[in-house]
Amino acid sequence: MIGDGRHIALVTTTRADWGILQPLAEALRDDPHVRLSVIAGGAHLSETHGRTVGEIEAAGFDIAATVPMPLEDDTARGTGHALGAACGGFADAFAALVPDLAIVLGDRFEILGAASAALMARVPLVHVHGGEASEGQIDEQVRHAVTKMAHLHFPAAQAYADRIISMGEDPARVFAVGSLAVETIRTQLVQDWAPIAIELDLDPDKDVLAVTYHPVTLADDHGVAPVLALGEALSLFEDMQVVITGVNADPGSSAVADGMQRIARTHPAAVVVPSLGHGRYLSLVKAASAVVGNSSSGIIEAPALGTPTVNIGPRQDGRLRAPSVIDCAETPNAIAGALTQALSPTAQAIAARCDTPYGAENTCRQMVQALKAVPLDGLLIKHMHFKGAERSVDDMAVGTTSLEVVG
């Protein structure tokens, strides 16, 4: 805990959300008017997923509280128990720390546990990257549930801000600030790929593909069949190096991870890395000829780095896309065709000059200013806001059957 002013807890449960939140954490840590407490849980504490809590500590942060979760059982039942552990663990953390605000990012099931605990603890919730869509996964429902629990919103694009407002949230509490990840790419030097490639026993001068594929939590097989299709497609590109990053701790993760390991065993120049760390991952993406898989990083970070994306299947359906994103079906021929297109001079040129829909100016500074300035009194009270209505829902006449919301 650092600083003497407003006490803000920042929740992180995966390498992915920490990579996005780290610049905000640094700005809050260094602000004399803020006390920052970092709460790390979930995959950060899991050996299977690289125990990435060390990356937080290596960045100079003390961990104020940890929230272990049983992630070994990736069945629906096991994930439900992990969600319960998340809720209980974050309840303990908030009771011990008593923050003025709690920040969560995104849509993972662990965040639902943190949000529920904050709700019961009467800690105002700040939601980053709300309003988005990813219709092929459970995260879609989690994200919108957290939006309705949250009291302040920092969406990454105006279209997402509009969606949050259409859900009845107060426009005065919604700040379309852009993506922290995109701002990081624009304002910080991306690491040199060559030493990272050598560390991974790869040739830094040879073409490389960045492959990230996560479970599709609304699919019956959680996306195992598409992994087999991906492997078959990649076998047609044996002259290219392949770096496969770790799988999210989601239902079906072990089967998907096994499939990715099979790809690494059969491809002549493929490696699996459980966690590169955010900085090294951005270096890989920038150096890569293409990003392949179904991760949001292919939608948000890759276009900002000038790299084409082959986005497989429905996991990211509904998200805003840059022109450099090529969507394809989950078949070997479709994936191979999309990858061939991504490697073409035309697609490479489009990626090199395309704009991302997630960019904005001074994202981190805007967030810090809002977090410091928002009045805490009355923040826990939420009213449904409707277009043209000056009254809350509770004040409206009984028998009203329809309301026009801001859209």
Q: In 10 A of CB 96, how many CB atoms?
A: 11
Domains annotated for the chain, with CATH where assigned, are 6-178+360-395 (3.40.50.2000), 188-353 (3.40.50.2000)
Tokens of 219: 């699919």
> How wide is the angle at C-alpha 17 spanned by C-alphas 57 and 278, nearest 5°?
65
125 and 94 Cβ atoms separated by less than 8 Å = no
337-367 pLDDT tens trace? 999 999 999 999 999 998 899 988 899 999 9
Question: What mean pLDDT value characterizes the chain?
Answer: 90
3-state SS track over 61-104: CCEEEEECCCCCCCCHHHHHHHHHHHHHHHHHHHHHHCCCEEEE
Q: How far is CA 311 from CA 141, 182, 248, 308, 342, in A?
A: 21, 19, 17, 10, 11
Stronger pLDDT, 188 or 7, i.e. the higher one: 7
pLDDT band at 220 (very low <50, low <70, confident <90, very high): confident
Residue 247: predicted pLDDT: 81
**Coil/strand/helix, residue 118:** helix
**Coil/strand/helix, residue 210:** strand
Strand partners, 36: 2, 8
164 pLDDT more than 80: yes
Q: How far is CA 246 from CA 91, 143, 213, 259, in A?
A: 29, 22, 8, 12
Q: In 10 A of CB 395, how many CB atoms?
A: 9
Residue 388: predicted pLDDT: 52
Phi, psi (rounded to 5 degrees) for 230: -60, -45
Residue 248: predicted pLDDT: 76
310 pLDDT more than 70: yes
pLDDT band at 82 (very low <50, low <70, confident <90, very high): very high
Stronger pLDDT, 188 or 272, i.e. the higher one: 272
Residue 269: predicted pLDDT: 94
pLDDT band at 172 (very low <50, low <70, confident <90, very high): very high
Average pLDDT over residues 278-290: 95
**Coil/strand/helix, residue 270:** strand
Q: In 10 A of CB 348, how many CB atoms?
A: 16
Stronger pLDDT, 47 or 332, i.e. the higher one: 332
Residue 401: predicted pLDDT: 33
The string of DSSP codes covering 278-309 is HHHHHHHHHH-SEEEES-GGGTTHHHHTT--E
Residue 217: predicted pLDDT: 73
Proportion of the chain above pLDDT 70, given as a percent: 94
Stronger pLDDT, 121 or 17, i.e. the higher one: 121
152 pLDDT more than 90: yes
Average pLDDT over residues 249-269: 89
pLDDT band at 393 (very low <50, low <70, confident <90, very high): very low
Q: In 10 A of CB 254, how many CB atoms?
A: 17
* Low-confidence winner among 43-57, 142-156, 273-287, 385-399 (lowest mean pLDDT): 385-399
17 pLDDT more than 70: yes
Residue 4: predicted pLDDT: 61
181 pLDDT more than 60: yes
101 and 122 Cβ atoms separated by less than 8 Å = no
Residue 137: predicted pLDDT: 79
